[in-house]
Amino acid sequence: MRVFSAEWIDQIKNRYEQKPKHQRPEIYFVATSDKYKELRNEVEEWVADFPKATQNKLIPKLQSSENSIQNTYHELAVGNMLKKLGFQIEYEKKVDGLTPDWYIQPKDKTPAFIVEVSTVNLSEETKKSDKQVVDLLSRLKQISVGVNLNINFNRDKVVLDPKLNKTISKKVGCWLLNENPSVGAQLDLNGVVFEIILFNDKFRRVQPMGASYASFVNSKHLRKKIKKKISRYKKQAEMGIPLVIAAAADPEMGYDFENFKEALIKLNTKKELSAAIWVGETESSEREIKAIHNPAAMNPLPNTTFDKK
């Protein structure tokens, strides 16, 4: 194993295993959970197929606890699909001072072009909000009352933080333990509303319901990311180098090609953008590329560039 070696996984466990689950970084779960075994195997296979110099760039990124592994994973997924189409690719090759994710060597009638990969994910603001919801639920689950407790609040109006979560959970504990509320009773704590659904002796602690920490991607967020990448590579486009923006998402994000097309609305006026490609999964879980060529591109690519060979 080049990336997920036993020694490195032990280091990750020693560093984060004692922390509460919601405080562990994404890389901890990717490295240790059986849920990500297939992903780990894919990454190892993809990385092994690159020269040593490229591996030395990829492995630190994949092992980083500071950055999302999904970003680099999707870069590799896109690169793997391009290789399957017969292209020779280079990772982070310097092009007039910038290092695009992939530099594609010319092939047949297709000129050299660069690919920048965008991972379809949540905004940092939404991620922080989700993390605080997880924190609140974790605190509530420590209250020693066997009860199903529904939670309802408007995330646009209520901003959770560790201090508020601590206060809320303490007040909920006092309410449940000292006031003997009955089924149907409600407690409103500054817009966070708790309702008792059911008491159950089989539960030793509070079972929260209703409050979800799963958020959905807004196409505006992805559009903003794509526009930023287009602006960044404006000079390279003016030099005659076609720019392709690729996007990929995890299946559980609930984001597909139709959503991607929505994110591209109004971006077809950006002449620096030659094409956009979506790398997603079919119903049989196989990856596929779907391309949208920009009719206004200053550096158009052949319409067959991303056709399956």
116 closest CA partner among 225, 229, 221: 229
Whole-structure pTM value: 0.74
pLDDT digits (tens, 9 = 90+) for 62-94: 999 777 788 999 999 999 999 999 999 999 999
Mean pLDDT of the chain: 89
Residue 213: pLDDT over 50? no
Q: Are residues 222 and 309 in the same domain?
A: yes
Of 30, 50, 67, the domain-final residue:
67
pLDDT digits (tens, 9 = 90+) for 10-44: 999 999 999 888 788 889 999 999 999 999 999 99
Residue 230: pLDDT over 60? yes
Which CATH number characterizes residue 109's domain? 3.40.1350
Q: Are residues 242 and 106 in the same domain?
A: yes
Residue 192: pLDDT over 80? yes
Q: Are residues 171 and 288 in the same domain?
A: no
Of 179, 209, 239, the domain-final residue:
209
Q: Are residues 225 and 308 in the same domain?
A: yes
Of 161, 186, 209, the domain-final residue:
209
Report the C-alpha gap between 86 and 82 in whole angstroms: 7
Could you identify the residue written with the tokens 């690719």?
A: 89
What token pair was written down for 85? 């189409």
Which of 23 and 149 is assigned the larger pLDDT? 149
Q: How many domains are there within the chain?
A: 3
Report the C-alpha gap between 188 and 307 in whole angstroms: 57
Q: Are residues 100 and 221 in the same domain?
A: yes
Q: Are residues 144 and 248 in the same domain?
A: no
State which amino acid sits at residue 24: R
The band of 214, judged by pLDDT with boundaries at 50, 70 and 90, is very low
Kind and range of the H or E run holding 118: strand 113-119
> 133: domain range?
124-209
